[in-house]
């Protein structure tokens, strides 16, 4: 499965004509894309009724990636998170089969400490059986030993652009899931990807990889609305 979408479902006015009519931005968005990344869950909790409404607004094959709360990743820094984790999982569970995967983005200051990270991941996979993608940003996470630990637990490591080091641009961890998170380059969040960059992304997404069950490609260069245009152009390229 190949999922291509954006971080959020806002439709810039410059791209509005590329979308059909609908009762909401999400309904319109879901007629052109097959996935979306919910980032607002990082900042605040959503009611279970909200997740149910979102799930009812999209086609059966549509999938949501949901960003885990900063209370877990940035405030608790993966320590003693079980109560917050249970609450979050109870909320996103209302998406039902349309919950595609969870996204855990770690703060740049959080170094890899196996005594803290591994118990957290063990707890997470005990409570949640679905796919999980982790986007670490401290350089200590990009080591073969960390890749093995993630792979053993079924956690995928995000391939990010721009990448802090070359290894950060390559998916790792669980090979069954590849999650490309494209933040815009060279000016993160603001710049659009060129046609040449989109051709390169297209080749990466179409590359055969043994054991890979699903690929996600999420454009996060949303500050000036370029994510929607880039994602639509990529879908048209792939056909």
Taken in order of first residue, the domains within the chain and their CATH numbers are 2-238 (3.20.20.410)
Q: Which class for 185: exposed (0-12), middle (13-18), buried (19 or more C-beta within 10 A)?
A: middle
Task: Write out pLDDT tens, residues 37-75.
Answer: 999 999 999 999 999 999 999 999 999 999 999 999 999
Rounded to a whole number of angstroms, the distance between the first and last alpha carbons of the chain is: 14
Task: Write out pLDDT tens, residues 113-140.
Answer: 999 999 999 999 999 999 999 999 999 9
Q: What is the DSSP letter of 178?
A: E
Return d(Cα 229, Cα 77) in angstroms, integer. 35
Task: Write out pLDDT tens, residues 8-28.
Answer: 999 999 999 999 998 899 999
Tell whether pTM > 0.85. Answer: yes
Identify the H or E element spanning 5.
strand 2-7
């Amino acid at each position: 499965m190949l999922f291509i979408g954006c971080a959020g479902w806002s439709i810039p006015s410059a791209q509005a004509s590329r979308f059909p009519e609908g009762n909401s931005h999400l309904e319109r968005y879901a007629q052109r894309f097959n996935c979306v990344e919910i980032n607002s869950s990082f900042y605040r909790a959503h009611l279970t009724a909200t997740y149910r409404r979102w799930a009812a607004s999209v086609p059966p094959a549509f999938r949501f990636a949901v960003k885990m709360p900063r209370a877990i990743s940035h405030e608790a820094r993966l320590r003693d998170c079980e109560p917050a984790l249970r609450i979050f999982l109870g909320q996103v569970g209302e998406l039902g089969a349309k919950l595609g995967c969870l996204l855990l983005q770690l703060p740049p200051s959080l170094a890899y400490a196996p005594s803290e990270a591994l118990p957290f991941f063990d707890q997470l996979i005990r409570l949640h059986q679905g796919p999980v993608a982790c986007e670490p940003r401290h350089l200590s996470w990009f080591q073969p030993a960390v890749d093995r630990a993630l792979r053993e637990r079924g956690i995928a490591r995000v391939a990010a652009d721009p990448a802090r080091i070359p290894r950060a641009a390559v998916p790792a961890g669980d090979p069954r899931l590849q999650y490309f998170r494209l933040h815009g380059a060279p000016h993160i969040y603001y710049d659009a990807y060129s046609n040449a960059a989109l051709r390169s992304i297209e080749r990466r997404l179409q590359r055969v990889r043994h054991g890979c069950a699903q690929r996600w490609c999420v454009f996060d260069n949303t500050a000036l609305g370029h994510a929607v245009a880039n994602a639509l152009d990529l879908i048209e390229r792939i056909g």
